[in-house]
Amino acid sequence: MNAIQIGGLVSFTTIDYPGKLACVLFLVGCPIRCAYCSNPHLLSVGPGDYDPEKVFDWLKSRVGKLEAVVFSGGEALMQGPAVIEYMRRVRDLGFSIGLHTNGFYPENLAAASSFVDWVGIDYKATKTNYEKLTGVNIAYDHLIKSLDVWAATGKPAEVRTTCDPRYVTPNDLLEIARDVAARGFKNFAVQKYIPHFEDEAHITTPTMRNAFFNDEKLRKEVNSLFETVLWRE
């Protein structure tokens, strides 16, 4: 089995796994190309900078100090059986396993679900805009399959939407939230779009980006669909 390719590591975080002290491993490679990606250096498949066995030894030294290890990317599930086996080993150390995923690999998510305790899943746009945002026409259908795979596990999750006004409208956000709730999810997060790169194609303004958060009617309607909604401004 191939070793996993790790391109980055955050040694301590309180915000990447709900209620637990965690570290984050950023795996190399992503099958889609979001217009707003903040980790472009992780998108291409290739060797990671971190030796996974050295990281594993370091994780052993964190037993009793950290509670969870979060796999992020890129898209961690792109590394298939290798990452699932690594998750199993890390979980055997006693850590909870978190996964941040774009939902592109429903079969891998199903295979990983015994070893993953919590997921954060991106629901990036409505079907109409998904290809425009991600550059991949099958990404939406894969996401929907992944949502249903995870909902069937009954394990906790957060589904989140980043409100980039180029691809998501307030009405879209409500449509997404209704779909997420109908699939049985209890926790939703609305994330403010913060531009990482300035370019000529960048046409959003603070007013456009804040519109989702200043719309009390929208907030109330979204909040009414879930047990918790985090509005991340």
- Binding part of the chain for ligand SF4, among 35-43, 168-176, 177-185, 187-195 by CB under 6 A, reads 35-43
* Residue 43 phi, psi (nearest 5): -75, -35
**Is residue 74 close enough to count as binding ligand SF4 by CB under 6 A?**
yes
**Is residue 34 close enough to count as binding ligand SF4 by CB under 6 A?**
yes
Strands 6-13 and 22-27 come out as: antiparallel
- Binding part of the chain for ligand SF4, among 36-44, 45-53, 55-63, 167-175 by CB under 6 A, reads 36-44
Which residues lie across from 9 on neighbouring strands?
A: 25
Residues 6+ apart with CB under 8 A from 220: none
Residue with tokens 């309607």: 221
- Binding part of the chain for ligand SF4, among 11-19, 28-36, 151-159, 220-228 by CB under 6 A, reads 28-36
**Is residue 89 close enough to count as binding ligand SF4 by CB under 6 A?**
no
Q: Which is nearer to ligand SF4, 180 or 218 (CB)?
A: 180
**Is residue 75 close enough to count as binding ligand SF4 by CB under 6 A?**
yes
* Residue 66 phi, psi (nearest 5): -110, 160
Residue with tokens 């990482």: 196
**d(C-alpha 233, C-alpha 123), whole Å:** 17
**Is residue 73 close enough to count as binding ligand SF4 by CB under 6 A?**
yes
The binding site for ligand SF4 (CB under 6 A) comprises: 30, 32-34, 37, 39, 43, 73-75, 102
